[in-house]
Amino acid sequence: MKNISILLTALSATIFLSGCGQNITSDGKARFEYFKYEGKDARFETDIDPYTQFFNPVIAGYYPDPSICRKDDTYYLVNSSFGYFPGVPIFTSKDMVNWTQIGHVLDRPSQLNIQNRGISSGIFAPAIEYNPHNETFYMITTDMGGMGNFYVKTKDILKGWSDPILLPEIKNIDPSFFFDDNGKAYIVHNDAPENGPDWNQQRTIRIHEFDVKNDCTIGKSKEIVRGGVYPGDKPIWIEGPHLYKINGAYFLMCAEGGTGPGHSEVIFRSESPWGSYEAAPYNPILTQRDLPKNRENKVTCTGQADMIQNRDGQWWAVFLGTRPYYGDYMFNTGRETFILPVEWENSFPIILKKGESVPIVVEKKNLQPEKNYLTGNFMYNQEFNDSTLDHSWIHIRTPHQNFYSLDEGELCINPLPVSIEEQKSPAAVLRRQQHADFTLETRLEYLPETKNDFAGLSLFQNEQHQILFGKTIIDGKVNLVLYRLEKNKELLASIPLESKAAKLPVKLMVDGEGRNYDFFYSLEDNEWIPLIEDVDASNLSTQIAGGFVGTCIGLYVTSNAVDMIIE
């Protein structure tokens, strides 16, 4: 099924080697020599001119809810991070297409302390803005289940951000700053309707004036949009608001319809930030919900947009979308970051006209291509030769102890008595799955001693939906194992390793194609042996796992690999 060299000879249930390669001793630690990842999506196989064309998404994989700002000729973009740490990845670009991650906004426990919460809790919809009046960057967001609404600020992004400044008077989710050209400042956000909802899942948008000097809201807030564009249709979940001033008018752009296939973006206009607001006559200005189900290169769930004007006066919009491999909502890669030029009609902006599909290849002049690992069919090979991990690596929740080191070209992970099947912070470092079709590979040195010891790979959506591939003890023997979790945990394959084979490093490979994943191993002889093929990986999809994140690929070690049965 895949273009991989596979050993096709018959295999016995037990692997025995008389001795070759490097024996490893047991010290409880796991050592990963490299992590190699290659994307193979068909939609990226088109040849493009990287100086005048680009692929959508511009940031592939679980990078949802994009927000963008500009200072001079440099753009900055942030995404939601939910239950992962560090929080809020931040990217920079000169052309809005070729992005480089420069770190995370919330990169220390004093800014973000996520413990014992669901992976789709935590940081929702960060919004970044630059205030030229005090030359300060602001990032405002919601910590669901934690601090609530807060913001951080800095005059120099590379030097880090302040500790959180709480905004207890801002309720619910999706706050966003707007700095007017007259020096005044405002916060808009999603809220519950005044005096209760008129229908199920009705929401509103509120506005507060903000005192920049004293870091607080002032005066009374006001409900400026109630329900959505067409209240007679009982629209749900007006959210993700951003406020702009363009040619003297105020524009309020919001998401509507929920984050699934009914997602959309709508726009309103007013002579004052306080309203009243008039809806564009051709709303929504972005959606894919009405398009044919059988279209090629399908993108769904588009919305949660933000706009920016470049120095030449052209407006662009960043927004989230998804690339399902089946139906409208089955995707393992999560919600991703797309970008399109904004057009204008009757003095209102349009991101994508009704009936048009999100294009995979987009034209844009004066691009500045550089090698990155964010879009297209790239190949990423981390050999762990640097003193720190690059910014693509993250943790499940906030770790409160050091459990890994980089030593002589290896990532060394010390086990914690925490299982990745628990709602805690395990000894795992992860990066995002960015393609529907992909291959990943690592080399593991590890010798388990008890049935509670495990090291290897986790393809992780949440505690109840993941795939575990690595080494452990079964019936007193070292085994290569493959577990699939979809609420219940199932052992799909295992092969005991006898004698010296158990002490050899092992290479692990995953070859994914949509919902079907194959799993291979190699005992230092460069021949890939199938452990199990055609594993149903739809348990990693948002449709089945639920939540707001995408699949992350973890290098994981534990001394508490409990055989949990999850109800």
- pLDDT tens-place string over residues 384-421: 999 999 999 999 999 989 999 999 899 999 999 999 99
Please state whether 270 falls in left (phi above 0), alpha (psi between -120 and 50) or beta.
Answer: beta
Neighbours of 390 (CB within 10 A): 11
pLDDT value, residue 150: 98
| Token pair of 93 as six digits | 């670009």
For the segment 305-334, what is each residue's pLDDT rounded down to a tens digit? 999 999 999 999 999 999 999 999 999 999
For the segment 340-357, what is each residue's pLDDT rounded down to a tens digit? 999 999 999 999 999 999
In total, how many domains does the chain have?
2
Are 105 and 241 part of one and the same domain?
A: yes
Are 327 and 434 part of one and the same domain?
A: no
What strands lie across the sheet with 122-131, from one edge to the other?
122-131, 136-144, 148-154, 165-166
Q: Which of 41, 65, 95, 421 is catalytic?
A: 65
Are 235 and 334 part of one and the same domain?
A: yes
Separation of alpha carbons 519 and 1, rounded Å: 12
Mean pLDDT within 178-198 = 96
Are 426 and 483 part of one and the same domain?
A: yes
Band the pLDDT of 26: cuts 50, 70, 90.
confident
Query: Which of 363, 386, 401 delimits the end of a domain?
Result: 363
pLDDT value, residue 15: 40
Are 180 and 271 part of one and the same domain?
A: yes
**Catalytic: 65?**
yes
Specify if 3 maps to a domain. Answer: no
Specify if 8 maps to a domain. Answer: no
Band the pLDDT of 13: cuts 50, 70, 90.
very low
CB 163 within 8 A of CB 170: no
Specify if 9 maps to a domain. Answer: no
Are 306 and 400 part of one and the same domain?
A: no
Are 239 and 347 part of one and the same domain?
A: yes
Q: Residue 318's domain spans which residues?
A: 56-363
pLDDT value, residue 22: 64
pLDDT value, residue 3: 43
Separation of alpha carbons 538 and 515, rounded Å: 5
CATH for 445: 2.60.120.200
Q: What does pLDDT average to over the chain?
A: 93
Q: Which of 129, 174, 191, 239 is catalytic?
A: 239
For the segment 92-139, what is each residue's pLDDT rounded down to a tens digit? 999 999 999 999 999 999 999 999 999 999 999 999 999 999 999 999
195, pLDDT greater than 70: yes
**Share above pLDDT 70 across residues of the chain, in percent, rounded to a whole number:** 95
Specify if 5 maps to a domain. Answer: no
Separation of alpha carbons 403 and 416, rounded Å: 8
CB 508 within 8 A of CB 521: yes
CB 106 within 8 A of CB 151: no
Are 281 and 309 part of one and the same domain?
A: yes
142, pLDDT greater than 90: yes
Which one, of 264, 218, 221, 269, lies nearest residue 243 by Cα?
269
Separation of alpha carbons 175 and 15, rounded Å: 57
222, pLDDT greater than 50: yes
Query: Which of 363, 387, 415 delimits the end of a domain?
Result: 363
Query: Which of 363, 398, 423 delimits the end of a domain?
Result: 363
Give the SS3 label for residue 384: coil
Band the pLDDT of 72: cuts 50, 70, 90.
very high
CATH for 290: 2.115.10.20
Between 231 and 92, whose confidence is greater?
92
Are 23 and 78 part of one and the same domain?
A: no
Instruction: For residue 502, report the phi and psi dihedrals to the nearest 5 degrees.
Output: -65, -25
Separation of alpha carbons 128 and 248, rounded Å: 22
Mean pLDDT within 439-444 = 98
For the segment 517-564, what is each residue's pLDDT rounded down to a tens digit? 999 999 977 799 999 999 999 999 999 999 999 999 999 999 998 754
Are 322 and 461 part of one and the same domain?
A: no
192, pLDDT greater than 90: yes
| Token pair of 208 as six digits | 């507060």
For the segment 244-270, what is each residue's pLDDT rounded down to a tens digit? 999 999 999 999 999 999 999 999 999
For the segment 498-510, what is each residue's pLDDT rounded down to a tens digit? 878 899 999 999 9
Specify if 178 maps to a domain. Answer: yes
**Catalytic: 527?**
no
Specify if 371 maps to a domain. Answer: no
**Share above pLDDT 90 across residues of the chain, in percent, rounded to a whole number:** 91
CB 10 within 8 A of CB 494: no
Handedness of CA 350, 356, 361, 365 (dihedral sign): negative
- Indicate the residue type of 493: A
Are 172 and 99 part of one and the same domain?
A: yes
Are 299 and 436 part of one and the same domain?
A: no
pLDDT value, residue 563: 59
